[in-house]
Amino acid sequence: MKNDNKKNIHLDGIKVSTTFSGIKKTPDNEHDILLVQFDKPCSIAGVFTKSLTSSAPVNQCKSNLISSKQATVRAIVVNSGNANAFTGKLGEETVSKISMFLSKLLKSNTNQIYTASTGVIGKQLDANKIINSFKSMTSCNTQNWLQAAQAIKTTDTFPKIAIRTCKIDNVNIDIVGIAKGSGMIAPDMATMLGFIFTNANLPSNILQKILNEANETSFNSITVDSDTSTSDTVLLAATRKAKHNLISKHTDRRLREFRNTLSSLMLELAKLIVKDGEGASKFVTINVTGACTKKSAKKIALSIANSPLVKTAIAGEDANWGRIIMAIGKSGELADRDNIKIHIGDELVTYKGMIYKNYSEVRATNHLKQSEVNLSIDVGVGKSCGKVYTCDLTHKYIEINADYRS
């Protein structure tokens, strides 16, 4: 696996273009539309929010994926500035209008057009602004991934992009991913969008299984503020241009490097989202061990990560470990009070049901002064573990979200 820092890796068969449509209100007319075109039907897989008030684009993507045994894609359209969520029948009609127009332009089926939107909830999306943008975008023949990542931002402070290379059957495989997300981030992903592209020659059913696995340890293991968005979407598309032998099972050993590489790329993007958490000043890793199951370990880790008391203590560089004890208890998961061990950085805090006799508040506080904080918790009831990534909660978060629509 190679972590390639080049921002403009080229994938044959893909055209990437962005433009300003006026959907997102910015002082300098930042681009707010992304169009990705494929020269022929490509494999596609997706994972989405579990919100019961999911957006029209999410519902459309999910419908496309189940419309055939091997779903394919010809174009992905993304807009920022408007989530097209809780917009009723009109929101669904907007998605249909965009899909029908683009499918005619590309001579494809409507179920090969995938849409995604991010921004304000409850405001009708003007389909004409997007459709009018296609005229200048469909003729584009470039691949500027950095520009693509810029176009899908909302409250993000920087574009999020990751690139990897690996091999299948000794054939070079390229993977590029872009993402956005900064707040309303919780498991079942976030108010986040992610788009990943590869030249691997893999059918959609295999892509879907690999994506599901990688998602659990990346986008589904982050939280900024415990809120789950209406719009979470991650799509993985494969052009199938690579000349390796056909693979029919996702468990095939020849896919091991690809699976690991994809997981690495997705985890990098997920961590970038947390590091760009609204108002965040610290990146926090919470590692829970000694749990009865992996599910239990992750639930405990999330209980800690989503606690406003824990997050504000970290922001204030206050080693108030009692709040971690509280969060473990409120998770509802099995933990042995007298065997819980908490580490703040390398500093052992609790031992045998009490504060450790050699615990140093000074050393624990010094660790919390770092930009990256590590909390390790052993709950003493089993051998399973789970890891979650989060950030602190600062005054800046309130400032951003109290004025989000302005």
Residue type, 121: I
18, 19, 191, 350: which one is catalytic? 191
In 83-223, at which residue ranges do the beta strands (DSSP E only) sit? 113-120, 160-168, 171-180, 193-198
- Which DSSP string do the residues of 278-292 spell out, in sequence order? TT---EEEEEEEEES
- Cα distances (Å, whole numbers) of residue 372 to 180, 345, 360: 21, 10, 19
Helix (H, G, I), strand (E, B) or coil at 168: strand
> What whole-number distance in Å separates Cα of residue 259 and Cα of residue 247?
13
Q: Long-range contacts: 214-217, Cβ < 8 Å, 24+?
A: 214/259, 214/262, 214/263, 214/266, 215/47, 215/189, 215/266, 217/263, 217/267, 217/387
Residue 154 annotated to the active site? no
- Cα distances (Å, whole numbers) of residue 390 to 42, 108, 153, 393: 34, 41, 20, 10
- Which DSSP string do the residues of 191-235 spell out, in sequence order? S-EEEEEE-----HHHHHHHHHHHHHTTGGGB-SSS---S--EEE
Active site residues: 191
